[in-house]
Structure 1
Amino acid sequence: MPAPLPPRSTPFSPLPGSPSVSSRHVSRGSPTPDARAGTPGAGSSAATGFGLLGRDDETTYHRRLRSLIDDHLTARRTWERCVSDDAARVVAEISTKARALDDALALSHSAAGRQATLGAALDELEDEVADLADVMARVHKANSRLQMLGDNAQTLLVDATRAKGPEFTMQEAMWGTWTLAQFVAYLGELSGQYVLQSAHLRILARQLTAEGCAPARPSAATAAKLRKRGKASGGGSSDEGSGDESSDASDDDAAGAGLRRSGSASARKLRGKLRERVLEEWGSWRYVVESGPHSGKLLEEVCEVEVGRWAESNAR
């Protein structure tokens, strides 16, 4: 579990020009904010009027922290692109293809081309399910990186505390107002949000393919058999109801029989409602705070104001 967030009384103003820096957040050996603003070093970062630590005064822990925050931001953006763009598109396609399969199941058994239509719908659905598995693997990779970066931040906190003491990590501001411990706690909480959201998305993906599609999970073999049967029957109407075909469906194609069992109006309605719920929940990130306190956006605002050389490291 990540360390708890700093208390809300922590002095911080996200707007440059109206900072509030408590004396307990300034290093004992550092000049006061006013003094630092009046005598910026040659290598200092800009905006010394805010009392930011000059780059010449940075330690290896400042540089490591800045790199971790930057990498964490990159990993969050990668995760968000995968989920909101690629995965959302595939989930929508699966919903559309599953609805098309349900429409085919609703056709009369004597309808011309029913078997071929079912086979084609299953084939298309299987392709989309495979695409979803690929995208979810990328989401998992980005999620694992966020977890790793959160762990690395904790390691940095331990290393810095051992080398420079708890006052350096718990009391002294790194650049402006936030301490190393505060940055690390915030990164840990953000990582936790994405871990929970990733787990929720995996559940939704399984529900969509297992319960939102007929049969439980489309099979390429099932699709091929249905297409072959549709071609052999010349559209599926002339041999419909024959004993040989019924036996073949139950003995050699249990999945095809499952399709018929799942073709009732009530089953199709339940699947439709589940797909609607998955689509809705996919777009509303339940566990990721998108703005305000505890959000990644707030951390970016803090970094823009007080993390030395942040603009340089984030030139994109």
Structure 2
Amino acid sequence: MPQAGSPFSSPGAAKANNVLSPFKNSQNAATLLAKNSPTASSSKKANLNNLTQSPKATPAAAAAAAKPAKPSTPSGSGGAGGSGSGSGSSSGVARSFSGASSPYSQRIASLAAAATGHAVFESPLLPREQETTYHRKLRTLLQQYAAQAEAWEEVVTYDGLKHAKQALDAWEDLESARNLGASSSSSGPRPRQWKTAAIANQPAAHDPVTGPGGLKERRMADALLAIERAEVGLADVTTRLDKHLAKIVQTSDAIAALLPDAAKARGLEFAFQEPMWGTWPLERFVSYITGVTPSYVLSTSHLALLVPILLRPKASPAPSSSDPNRVSKASFAREDSASKDGKPADPNAHRRKAFEDWIALPHLETKGRGSMAWFEAVCRVEVGKYLE
């Protein structure tokens, strides 16, 4: 029989010793769960009755007994209460979890089926099995054309700019070397005086800047050697550009020849209206290639004209027959002659302008819808198996 003051005594004693009951909260929680869960199994009630009837129960056992049971799904033949109800609820829970179909599981199942069954994304382009001879020829020629155009632009951008800048810097170094000693005082020895001093073995003949073997001569010699190296490099660049241009023109002519051949063999609709792979017909590919090829021809000729501007001295004005003395004046005219406003003109202004034109390539569109970069992006989505 429970003693007075124990947590499991009569209801009056529990009310009197309300503060001393260590299991009061657990009992209240179990009672509320029992009231709110009409489908609770009888096994939970039996555990609570055993807890209230056992005075030596531990707090851990009481908390475990007060833990709510998982909701069960009644089976078809299971009754309410007893051990049979508990077994029926466990089998119902198992069936409920096995039959559940969450969005995540559906997604995993669909991805697995797609990976094992067919491709997730099917290309809308014409499959390789349906291609004709003209499809294969056009794809090969487009790849060759893009490769030659890219090689042409690389030669211009890398090696061409390198040697053009080398020529411009060499001419600027040469002009700086020519101006060495120009601001010396008038009391210094003149070139004629140097010759006289050299004959007389005077110390004034050995000027470290403007004298024989001085800094001025050494810098001018280095600048002239740099100009010669730039000339060799630009000559090689011009030769390579001509070779790439010849292949570009040859490939362009081969692409243009596909159009009348395809129209004759497979009809006008195939050549001018039917898409080859995606949306572009054969005529549109031919029109673009034949339209952009003259830009490479013109740009190659323009770069060939810029080479002598970068390497040669500025051309002197042609002599006039009415003034015979002008020949000697023009032949000795310096590039740094004074301009009309009285300020000394930049002797390398025309070379700098030629270098800027080399960078800009004014006769070739390098960005936008007329550039090869744009056309290659189109080919990646319009030409089947273009990157293979």
Question: What is the Cα deviation at residue 298 of structure 1?
Answer: 2.4
Q: Is 2:205 the partner of 1:205?
A: no
3-state SS of the aligned residue for 1:131?
Answer: helix
Q: In the aligned structure 1, how far is the partner of 2:234 from the partner of 2:262?
A: 42
The one-letter amino acid paired with 2:159 is: D
3-state SS of the aligned residue for 1:311?
Answer: coil
**Pairwise mapping of residues 259-298 of structure 1 onto structure 2 (< 5 A)?**
261-262=333-334, 264-266=336-338, 269-298=345-374
Counting aligned pairs with the same residue, the percent is 31
Residue 78 of structure 1 is aligned with which of 132, 151, 160? 151
3-state SS of the aligned residue for 1:310?
Answer: coil
Instruction: Tell me what 1:182 maps to.
Output: 284
Q: Which runs of 5+ in 2 are unaligned?
A: 1-118, 183-189, 192-209, 317-330
Residue 154 of structure 1 is aligned with which of 253, 256, 260? 256
Q: In the aligned structure 2, how far is the partner of 1:46 from the partner of 1:181?
A: 33
Instruction: Tell me what 1:98 maps to.
Output: 171
The one-letter amino acid paired with 1:59 is: T
**Pairwise mapping of residues 1-316 of structure 1 onto structure 2 (< 5 A)?**
48=122, 50=124, 52-107=125-180, 108=182, 110=191, 111-112=210-211, 113=214, 114-211=216-313, 261-262=333-334, 264-266=336-338, 269-312=345-388
Deviation by residue 1:54-80 (Cα, 9 ceiling, x = unmatched) = 111101110110011101110111011
Deviation by residue 1:277-308 (Cα, 9 ceiling, x = unmatched) = 11211111212222322222222122111211
Tell whether the 8 Å contact from 1:105 to 1:263 is kept in structure 2 after alignment.
Answer: no
Q: In the aligned structure 2, how far is the partner of 1:197 from the partner of 1:46?
A: 46
Deviation by residue 1:209-264 (Cα, 9 ceiling, x = unmatched) = 2345x99xxxxxxxxxxxxxxxxxxxxxxxxxxxxxxxxxxxxxxxxxx6x75364
Q: In the aligned structure 1, how far is the partner of 2:311 from the partner of 2:351?
A: 9
Deviation by residue 1:80-124 (Cα, 9 ceiling, x = unmatched) = 110000010000000011111112222348412344543443233
Tell whether the 8 Å contact from 2:166 to 2:226 is kept in structure 1 after alignment.
Answer: no
3-state SS of the aligned residue for 1:294?
Answer: coil
What TM-score do you get using the length of structure 2 for normalisation?
0.53
Flag the 1:99–1:311 CA change in 2: closer, same or farther, 3 A. Answer: same
**Which of the pair has the greater relative contact order for Cα pairs under 8 Å at 6+ separation?**
1
Tell whether the 8 Å contact from 1:106 to 1:263 is kept in structure 2 after alignment.
Answer: no
- How many residues align? The count is 225
Flag the 1:186–1:122 CA change in 2: closer, same or farther, 3 A. Answer: same
Question: What is the Cα deviation at residue 266 of structure 1?
Answer: 4.0
Tell whether the 8 Å contact from 2:173 to 2:219 is kept in structure 1 after alignment.
Answer: no
Q: Larger % of helix: which?
A: 1
Flag the 1:191–1:58 CA change in 2: closer, same or farther, 3 A. Answer: same
Question: What is the Cα deviation at residue 129 of structure 1?
Answer: 0.8
Q: In the aligned structure 2, how far is the partner of 1:46 from the partner of 1:157?
A: 36
Tell whether the 8 Å contact from 1:55 to 1:308 is kept in structure 2 after alignment.
Answer: yes
The one-letter amino acid paired with 2:162 is: R
Q: Which runs of 5+ in 1 are unaligned?
A: 1-44, 216-257
- Indicate the structure (1 or 2) with the bigger Cα radius of gyration: 2
